[in-house]
């Protein structure tokens, strides 16, 4: 299993282990949950891990927008948030 960085930027080099002392829950349809579980399993993750990684990636992308390596624009999109590699496009300079 590969180690991926979850959580917020700036915390990734934290020396002590994370304490998961918060909780969340929410309601959804059975169909939605079934689809989420299917995708989580395809990534060898538990649903809780999958949801957490997606929420962290989305929150991080909003709170710490990734900038284009070429023109430094924040109008830069990564199609699969959380993936270190993958498809990106800059809507200003066209870098992809």
Where do contacts with Zn ion occur on this chain (CB under 5 A)? 68, 70-71, 73, 90, 92-93, 95
| Residue 53 burial (CB count, 10 A) | 19
- The number of residues making up the chain comes to 96
Nearer to Zn ion, 48 or 64 (CB): 64
Least separation in angstroms between residue 80's CB and Zn ion is 19
Nearer to Zn ion, 35 or 94 (CB): 94
Q: What is the C-alpha end-to-end distance of the chain, expressed in Å?
A: 28
Least separation in angstroms between residue 88's CB and Zn ion is 10
């Amino acid at each position: 299993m590969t180690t991926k960085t979850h959580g917020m930027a700036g915390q990734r080099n934290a020396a002590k282990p994370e304490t998961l002392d918060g909780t969340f829950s929410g309601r959804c349809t059975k169909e939605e949950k079934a689809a989420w579980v299917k995708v989580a399993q395809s990534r060898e993750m538990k649903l809780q891990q999958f949801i957490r990684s997606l929420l962290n990636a989305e929150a991080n992308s909003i709170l710490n927008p990734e900038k284009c390596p070429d023109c430094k624009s924040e109008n830069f999109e990564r199609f699969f948030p959380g993936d270190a590699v993958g498809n990106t496009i800059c809507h200003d300079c066209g870098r992809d």
